Chain A
Amino acid sequence: MFELIIGHYDYLFIVVLITIGLYGMIIKKNLVKKVIGMSIFQSAIILFYISSAVKYNSTVPILVDELSTSEVITYINPLPHALMLTAIVVGVATVGVAFALLVLIYKRYHTFDENELIERMK
């Protein structure tokens, strides 16, 4: 039981964040809070990639003369970070589209509350 917890604090933190994000997206009735939940959810996944790519006693992946290329252990794997740059951009675009939709919804129905909204749609 304890070996699941000790040394895996970052993953546990990410699990908590993902749960909060999913809770916000699914349970919260306010549409803006749903978008906030979505942001937390996406950030949690980005953190997951970054924390998994952490490597101690190693340097940025730029070739220098002092370190030979055969010593892979001395370099950090740059790929997860590069992937997450893309994922951050995708996340920003998603939040942008979500807020654009919310502006439209608010202009038409003057509310962000889901129950109220469904009531006014009838």
Chain B
Amino acid sequence: MIEKNIPAILPLIFLAAALFIPLLGVWKKAVAYPIAIITVLVAASVSVYGFIYVLLNGTIRYFFGGWAPPIGIEYVYDPLASFVALVINFIALLVLTHGYHAVNIDVKDRQVAYYSVVMLLLAGFNGMIITGDLFNLYVFIEISSLSGYALIAVGEKRAPFAAFRYLIIGTIGASFYLLGIGFLYFMSGTLNMNDLSSILPFIKDSPTILVSLILIVIGIAIKMAIFPMHGWLPDSYTYAPTTSSSLIAPIGTKVGAYALLRLMLFVFGIDYFSKDLQVAELLAIFSCGGIIYGSIMAIAQKEIKRMLAYSSIAQIGYIGLGIGLANPLGFIGALLHLINHAFMKACLFLVAGNLRLKTGNSDISQMDDSFRKKYPWTMAAFTIAALSMVGIPPLAGFFSKWYLALGTIENNAWLYLAVILISSLLNAVYFFRILEKVYMKSPEKEKSSVNDQVDFNSEEVKPSMLMPVIALAVGLVVLGIFNVLLVDQIYKMMPAGL
């Protein structure tokens, strides 16, 4: 029965690929890319199949080694997990399709190692989504983080230092999480998420549980770069090579957000998280701070990738705010934004990568009318993604903000509503300033000193780099138009008691 094994297949094929790429790479270097892309393709198809199967037949539980939980490790493939797994594998497929040329240029002759680490990264992400065990989650967090540091460090000259900073901060986060589950384990005697959520109501008055909740929230908030803990993010995203940043930016922080969502709403439970304690309120306040801070810092940036990195901090704030609202509309908003933002950021980072490969840099100041003529499709995709980030109605970005806004109204949290509206305006400022240059500003007469090695002649980027960008842009329109179907499914994923 293949269906019963889907939860194990998803992380394991990536781990297997991570092993086989270097082994076969010794024989022939060119074999790395095909193995990687086929693995992601298989994972994406398995997760499509798994998603449909889970929606029709209900949650799949997989017990490793046949040991039933709480003794053994359990993988839970419920509608929520299958949906997020589908999204990230799909985006990974598109980014790696783009990587066919981008990795050639960025990484050159170390592709075998690069693709092997990419497979480890995806194994970590898939594992984080599917696992039903707290310690297993820690292991997968570390697998994805360690490969993330390596992927960032292969970038330009300053990248290793950015990666080192990320490593120090990320290790603090992961260790806090480990400490937190230590407290939980010694109080409850279990590491299984389901089991724990049924034990917690009996021991929730203990201050130890409170401490563990705080440690876990801080640990994961560092991983997902909630506002005061975002310090590692801008540098790492900016200096990483295109494929790395387009893998880590849309997927990495989202998986962190998913882990927070899972632990807070499904394990600790909505009552403990938002009513008995004010953790949810605090999370929402910090997220609002992040939304405003990220948007303002994004306006101040002169370089697209750095601007997108700051915008990521703001967008993660939306997801944190949705979780912090702790009501059904907030949950829908957070989950929708998790998906929409993954699509938008992947599209924008790939466009930034395309511009870098074509013109040698991605400074905003050099953009003008000629970009529209030279790269009409790339710029069209950029425009759609930018409009979606701002929240123009038929596009996907509008609906997540809409549900978040409804959620704040339901909680009578007018300040949060104001933050959402103001940040939409700020988004408009930093994206329209680029769009204005691309579509309105006529090129200056004297051609500024352009790097001669970069080919300015060929019109549009290569098809392998164009198709993923367009697919993501089309995806944004489709996600927006068929939004109702998606929200209907999200209602089924909601935790009990919300």
Interface residues of A (CB under 8 A from B): 22, 25, 31, 34, 38, 41-42, 45, 48-49, 52, 79-80, 83, 86-87, 90, 93-94, 97-98, 100-102, 104-105, 108-109, 117, 121
Contact = CB atoms under 8 A, between A and B. Distances in A.
Contacts of A93: 142, 146
Interface string B143-176: 0001001100100011011011001100110010
A101 B172 contact: no
Interface stretch (B37-45, B177-185, B449-457): B177-185
A112 B298 CA distance: 30
B135 interface: yes
Nearest to B178: A45
B139 interface: yes
A104 B160 contact: yes
Given A41-B171, A83-B135, 18 more contacts: A38-B168, A45-B175, A45-B179, A79-B191, A87-B138, A90-B138, A90-B139, A94-B146, A94-B171, A97-B167, A98-B167, A101-B149, A101-B161, A102-B164, A104-B153, A105-B164, A109-B161, A117-B161
A34 B150 CA distance: 18
Given A31-B164, A90-B139, A94-B142, A38 B171 contact: yes
A80 B185 CA distance: 9
A93 B167 CA distance: 12
Interface of B: 135, 138-139, 142, 146, 149-150, 153, 157-158, 160-161, 163-164, 167-168, 171-172, 175, 178-179, 182, 185-186, 191
A79 B134 CA distance: 13
Given A52-B186, A93-B146, A108-B157, A42 B175 contact: yes
Contacts of A101: 149, 153, 160-161, 163-164, 167
B168 A25 contact: yes
A102 B153 CA distance: 11
Given A87-B178, A104-B153, A108-B157, A98 B142 contact: no
A93 B139 CA distance: 12
- Centre residue among A31, A34, A38, A104 by max chain B CB count within 10 A: A104
B221 to A, nearest CB: 16
Contacts of A97: 146, 149-150, 167
Nearest to A77: B189
5 contacts: A42-B175, A90-B139, A97-B149, A104-B160, A105-B160
Return the 9 tightest CB-CB contacts between A and B, nearest first. Answer: A104-B160, A101-B164, A90-B142, A105-B160, A101-B160, A52-B186, A45-B179, A97-B146, A97-B149
A52 B178 CA distance: 14
A102 B168 CA distance: 12
Contacts of B171: 25, 38, 41-42, 94
Contacts of A41: 171-172, 175
Contacts of A108: 157, 160
Contacts of B160: 101, 104-105, 108
A62 to B, nearest CB: 17
